[in-house]
Structure 1
Amino acid sequence: MIIERVHFQGFGRFQDQTIQFQPGLNVIQAPNESGKSTLLQGIFALMYGGVQEGRRVRREADWYSGYRPWIAQQYGGEIDYTLQNTSYRLVRNLIKGREQEQLWNRLTGEELHHHFSFDQRKERKIIETQLGLSGELFQRTAYIASYSDTGSLSYKQEKKWQLKLTEKLNSLLDQGDEVELTSVLGYLDEQLNEMGKTENAKQKPFGMLIEKQQKLSEELEKEQETQAECLQTRVDLQKLWREKEQLEQEYQVLSVQHQRISIALQCKAEWYRLDKINAALEEWEVANRKQIALQDKIYQLEEKKKLLEPPFRMQMEDLEECNGLHYQHQTFEKRIAQLEHQIHEEEQMSPPTLPWWKPVYPFLTYIALFLTGSSLFYSTILGFVLGTTTFFLYTVSKVIQEWNRKHYNQSRLWSIQTNRKLLEQYQLEHKVCKERLEWWQQRVGTNDPSIIRKWWDQTQQVEKIEWELDSLTREQPILKKGEGKYLRQKWEDGKRELITKYKGAFCDITDKQVDSESLVLSRETVHKSMQLNSMQIGEKQNSLQELESRLKEIEQLHMEWERVSSELERVKEEKEAIRVAQEVLQEAYRSRQGNVAPILQQISSSWIRTVTNKRYDCLFADFTGDGLSARIPETGRKEKIDQLSTGTLMQMVFALKMSIVQYISSESNQQLPILLDDCFVYYDSDRLASILPLIGKLSQTHQILLCTCHTREMEQLNQLRQTYHAVSLIS
């Protein structure tokens, strides 16, 4: 299979964009966040759609919402590919509820999607049928992505997946005999039934764990308020203790000032009256500044309005009418000219006529006359019969010719009359149109649509300015004349009288002393506040004890939730492993009912020897306890795979996937395309130099799309003189 072109109507960052590919090695070099992963995910989506596989109920794929366009209304595109010397075009609409897939033969234009029947979920499975490979198996084998530090969770899941898949495949390698898959698949299906296939199986372990996790999650969400309440209670308690210390200090101060508190209260009352005057003065100053600012803005808008005011204000109806009149005027002129020309041509035309003495069929007539004259020498009756026939031939043809001429003249006259009536109608409508345009000319001085359009734009701007002026006018505060001067004078006089009145009563009363809270609160008020504070502290302490006891219960709930979640994750992983094992075994059973161990062992061993520079030659799966291991050819010693470095493990996974791709391609006689998404980003130069020649050799039989954010791959390919095609993401 060779992918030739993809066109995204809407997918992620790609909007109405086309990208071309060539057979062999295609290198897409671009920086991070430029759309490389989006491109490969889009190719996979156009091939297999946006619905999860292996589920009875239709459900969106995990990547579906992440790549849906925010702005564009379309989600999907089309992909051109060649398979078994036939060119196809597959068009997909990925919008939920409106999913659609159409397949055409690009050479003949024949619709082919009707040849693929719907399955139970109303899906046609076009690519699955053509390649004989499901989307998930394609993604796990021919679609290889990189592992990043930020995606450690997905890396662990992928590693578990690869190990489980490797164990299933290596079980074939170690046995070397044909496996009876029917009993194995039945056993796996029984295991799935025992665990519960769906969340609705409440009596099965899987459904029970789901239900229990949901209940615990709901209880924990409710108890989150308890945690927040406990924290807030501790904060309030600390605040109350600090408030108690402040009240005790203030009580001591007020005890000393008890004799002067009455004078301070009187002073406070009069000062409160001055505060009202000061507040009114501040409000007046704010309103005055706002009025000045609004007046400046109104003046600027009025000046702008004067500059933009058009000679005549136009509405949208006026603009549409003027454009329509000009279009009608031009249309009627063209139609009138065409009709006048047609009438003139029809009037000039006349049917061809022959003189009365010239026969319609001269050759037949002359032969008949000759035969008539000749027969008179032999028989008078024969001459009479031939003469009558000659006369009949001449007369009938003349009559038919005359009737055709009259019929032609009548048709021509009817056509001329019809065209004249239509011409008069067009002329009348044209006259009305011209009168309307002249009325426009007299009304506003012009009927030019461009000028009317300019006036309409200016009218819109002026109306917007008028709306702003109206809003600003309503926002202007109403101020009384001389009010500010009166309030300022009253404030200054009252302040001066207050300081003069209370000066010497107790120390020197200044503005700061008059505003102090020590003159506001009395000793009795502070004492009551201290009692209330003590009561609040006791209540908060009791409430805190209750909340702390509830927090212990929440910790136990959280531990139970973690235990249930861990158990549920284990069950999910076990279900996923069983499902994948079923799919792999079914795919192997369909593709080849026989012993695949020798071929797959040979292919994988060749790849492993090459990518590891002959340090390892093959993988072994020992299920007695040692697990998966790699063999060193020089010594024959087996090294556990969990003791290998991350780079070597990545090489092993890559080699295993490439061997599976080669095996599937050789068995199905269909060369799968290989999608590589920055899978060499963590390879050092030596590992990359060992893998690129294999990639080049593999590109001779497979199409490879290599995405990278570095230039070193292209540099080493150039050094190796390896042929490749550079693909740009900019259309």
Structure 2
Amino acid sequence: MKIEELVLGSFGKWQDASFRFAPGINLFYAPNESGKSTILQGIFAALYGMKRDYVKTARYLPEYEKYRPWQSGSYETIITYKLAGKTYRLHRQLTKEREEARLFLDPEWTELTELYLEDRRKERNFIEKHTGLTRSLFTDLTWIRREPLQAAEHLIPTFTTAEEANPAVQQILAELDREVALIGKKERAENTLLGKAATKVAQKEQEKENAKVAWRTISQLTLQIAEAKEECQQLELRRSRLQQHLERSIGQAKVLQERWQRSHAPVSQQDWEWWEQTAHSEGELAIHQEARRGLTQVNMPTVAVQQMDDQLIPLQHDYEKGAQLLKQREALHIRLATLAVSALSSSPRRSASRSTRQDNQAKRRRGAALMWGGAGILSVLGLIGFVSGHPILGGISATVALLLFGFGVFLLRVGGSTGGVKQTADQDAVQDSQKVQEEIASIDAEVTTLVQRWGASNWDTFLERREGLLKSTNKQQSEQLLSEMAKTKQEADLSASWGEALRNLLDQEKNALETEQGKLRIEMAGIEERLQELREQMARGSGEMVVHESLSLSRATDELEEAQVALRQLQNKRDALQLAREMLQEAVGEWRRDSTPAVNQQASEIIEHITGGAYRDVRLDPRDGFAVRLLAPTKQMVLEQDQCSTGTIDQLYLAQRLALMHHAKQAEPLPLFFDDHFVHYDEERLRRTLDYVTMLAQEHQVFLFTCHERELRMLAPLLRQEERHAVHRIG
């Protein structure tokens, strides 16, 4: 196998870097940290990718993160290699999200990707199909380094060829090792199929137990939810009743408040009936009845006052009637006086002399003055009579005063008159006077009858009797007024006492209602809190039931049986694989008997050559990962590898890898990789080792990475003469 070209699109520090390789020695000379190891890792990544071997799922090597592109760019490689006379071009996209590998055949670049089937990890494994070597085996054989083998247990099948054993042995042993590793030997191993199956069985057993517990839990939860629902219904019914009671109590409180306000208003007879009819208790009814009885007793009328009223009313009526008659009588007297004056003025006085008329005129003036003076005196007497309560006396005095005043006026006006009155006028005046006198007599008779009805002889006696009755009545009315005021005060006191007693009772009832309402609200709040707790309990129970309902007991039982069957199948498969492996152990034993001496001989020859004969006898132990043991020539002691010097240890690792690779039956020689492997070699060891490497380079492609000039200096003559070799300077 020859690697012709490597292209690193973006890999570690390298970006869009291309390297072409010679078929012999490729010496990479550069200081440390210049990217030599990155090129080596790029070759391995281009050939095999960056995933681990011998694991069921795709797991990446630690180097995956280490060699991510330092700069922006696609994490990819392209490698061209020649194998079995054919040239292949392998493209790899290493980014996890869009990982891809494609294989082309030169020179037409025909794509061969689909010809390689994917394994269980969705990997096509092109190089493994070409060489029969996994990444671990390839690096174990070709990378000469100071480390133990990574896949020593998988190396043995690679040493068997078609001539030595059945052609299928190599593949069978490799598959057996993979299958046994995948299945595992112990059920407690977590990362093996057997361990996972056992874990699944245990998990299904636990799920079955959980399903049983869930079934019991669901039964309990169902019962608890039913009990909670029943309690909720009872509580809601109780809350509804309390709410109705509370609303009724609030309504009663409003009614009490209205009654309390109405108790301040005056109370009529209808109001008393309303109060008694709407009394809320016997105590309230007793308060109303007692107040009503007290008010009834206070408002009882006095009999004497009522009798005086019965006498005073007709007396007053007769008084008003008599006063009216007297007014009419006075008017008739005035008319009679007027008629008398008219009669006097109509007498003939034709024969009187002028002197006589003058004397008469003076006499008339004196008479008029006397009349007017008398009229004034009578007017004063009439006014006094009216003021002092003697209207009859006052009326008569006023009437006479008017007559005297009229006569005086008449005397002044008719004093100088000399005409006569006709006979017919005198006669009419006499007739009118008679009618007036008749009417006056009728009025006097009616007044006499009126006053005699009351036991009086005349109007003045009647007035005195009326005055006495009025005084008595006024006195009784005053006494009655005082009594009414006392009644009013008693009524006010009774009403106030009634209102205060009623309001005290209403306040007590209101306080009782408020206390009751407080208790009802507290009880309702407690019910609401309990209902909330029950609702939350039912919600939690329903949620838990939903969770537990997903755990079906029958399904868990079926899954447990399936898991147990799968575990038994894996156990049977493991037993079959172990049996097959045991059967192949004889072939391995034969290899050990036949091939181990050859491998040990090859390793001894290599160590003798590169140590200049200092060590000649080396053994590789296949049962211990091909560990190297050395026979000290002087003391004939067997030394473990780690008991030797640093340089000798490096040489033993070199002899181990080269011997194993020599006996690994490959169709073509594999390339060899040295990454600063000779750093602990002295000059003589390095010279002899490079001579041996030069000899190997006749068949193998060699990649030698170094940061020292010794390798370049020692190989310079060979590198200048041979076109088969090349020097790659980096940096």
The two structures have a TM-score, normalised by structure 1, of 0.40
- Tell me which structure has the larger Cα radius of gyration: 2
Kindly indicate whether structure 1 or structure 2 has the higher relative contact order, using CA contacts under 8 Å at least 6 residues apart.
1
